[in-house]
């Protein structure tokens, strides 16, 4: 999956253009940059590829989440549904926005289930938004999810940070809801080294996004010192250097997706021969970005045995998320305690949930039996066959 696997001279050339002709700051300095605008260029490329009206680049996927929340009006005291299986930034961004994460169940899509969301809405009628995370490159039941959001007037934020290039019924993930996010860090499908993006078809959300991520600047005119500040903001700007790497990487997106899908199919076809193996549910197989192959086994005990056995066979890139400190709720002790370096906004909310008592039994059952394998771009046919042979030893 990681785009860095296919770094070559094209990334170097893009960065060199900034060094020789351009300027590292993404705004202004018009006279010094010789019309070199890498952030603008990459934003335009993303809009064209994903068929979205607005893209705004920021410094990371986490910054994109924080920006998307604020730009879509999510703030102090607002309740936001989030899955227990995600990267911890999905939760941290909500807390640091002053909002309240409400955990809801996933299903075998490995994303929030419509049934779980509806159960949560029975307990919390004042939900303001859903942070719908497209984990491991694929989507959930998006027609049902969007219908729920429309019916209940809930903001649908799509965290597509692990799903760049994935689609659902032909529409890019991250563009189905009100606002979406992508991540371009070092181990993502497309890498800028560090970077992220906010996607939206809503011009009001876009304006708040570019303002909020740059200290509230309205970005009108050519004199930064004369710009107005309609809102308060932060500093989540991407640099021209990171955007330059992204320009080269984005041109490789089709190649990356084709390679991932080909490699994943070879492994999935091989694993389909074993009766104890079932696969993650993917509502639109054609839209999967194929960054991971996720399988579900009969029991937690068997899953642990398989993970251990694959390690002994030298199979790298196998993730047992249920025991992973970054990606599953039960292991996030700082979230259970809502522990920060200083007092958090959520400490001021009297009726906040007791996160030490959060229970997601349906998600626990699924994730305790799930393992995912990273799909590499650099595998040779021989390396894929070696993995298939290792699976055979484990599952036979």
Q: Which residues are catalytic?
A: 188
Q: Which of 196, 240, 232 is nearest to 215 (CA)?
A: 232
**Distance separating the N- and C-terminal Cα atoms of the chain:** 28
Spatial separation of the C-alpha atoms in residues 128 and 77, rounded to whole Å: 10
Given a contact cutoff of 8 angstroms between Cβ atoms, the answer to whether 10 and 256 are in contact is: no
**Residues 6+ positions from 120 with CB-CB distance below 8 Å:** 81, 102, 104, 127
Q: What does the alpha-carbon distance between residue 189 and residue 221 come to, in Å, rounded to a whole number?
A: 35
Alpha carbon dihedral 383, 384, 386, 390, in 10-degree steps, equals: 140
Buried b (16+ CB within 10 A) or exposed e, 167-179: bbeebbbbbbbbb
**Pairwise CA distance, residues 335 & 217, whole Å:** 33
- Strand bridging mode 179-183 / 155-159: parallel
d(CA 262, CA 290): 9
């Amino acid at each position: 999956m990681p785009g860095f696997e296919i770094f070559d001279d094209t990334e170097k050339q893009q960065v060199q253009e900034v060094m020789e002709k351009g300027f590292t700051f993404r705004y202004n300095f018009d006279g010094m940059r010789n019309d070199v605008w890498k952030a603008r260029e990459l934003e335009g490329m993303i809009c064209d590829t994903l068929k979205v009206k607005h893209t705004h680049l920021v410094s990371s996927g986490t910054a994109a989440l924080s920006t998307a929340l604020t730009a879509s009006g999510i703030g102090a005291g607002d309740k936001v549904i989030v899955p227990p299986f995600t990267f911890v930034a999905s939760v941290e961004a909500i807390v640091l926005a002053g909002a309240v994460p409400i955990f809801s169940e996933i299903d075998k899509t490995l994303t929030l289930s419509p049934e779980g969301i509806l159960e949560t809405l029975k307990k919390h009628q004042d939900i303001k938004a859903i942070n719908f995370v497209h984990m491991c490159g694929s989507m959930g039941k998006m027609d049902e999810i969007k219908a729920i959001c429309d019916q209940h007037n809930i903001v649908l934020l799509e965290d597509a940070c692990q799903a760049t290039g994935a689609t659902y019924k032909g529409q890019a993930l991250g563009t189905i809801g009100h606002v979406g996010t992508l991540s371009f860090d070092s181990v993502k499908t497309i890498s800028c080294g560090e970077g992220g993006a906010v996607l939206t078809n809503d011009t009001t959300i876009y304006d708040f996004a570019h303002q909020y991520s740059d200290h509230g600047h309205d970005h009108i005119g050519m004199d930064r010192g004369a710009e107005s500040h309609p809102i308060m903001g932060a500093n989540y700007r991407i640099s021209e250097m990171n955007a330059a790497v992204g320009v080269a990487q984005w041109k490789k997106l089709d190649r990356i997706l084709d390679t991932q899908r080909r490699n994943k199919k070879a492994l999935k076809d091989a694993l389909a021969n074993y009766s104890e193996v079932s696969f993650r549910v993917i509502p639109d197989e054609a839209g999967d970005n194929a960054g991971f192959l996720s399988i579900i086994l009969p029991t937690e005990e068997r899953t642990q045995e398989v993970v251990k056995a694959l390690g002994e066979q030298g199979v790298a890139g196998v993730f047992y998320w249920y025991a992973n400190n970054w990606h599953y709720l039960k292991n996030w002790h700082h979230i259970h305690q809502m522990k920060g370096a200083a007092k958090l906004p959520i400490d001021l909310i009297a009726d906040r949930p007791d996160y030490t008592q959060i229970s997601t039994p349906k998600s626990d059952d699924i994730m305790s039996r799930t393992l995912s394998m990273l799909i590499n771009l650099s595998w040779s046919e021989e390396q894929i066959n070696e993995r298939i042979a290792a699976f055979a030893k484990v599952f036979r």
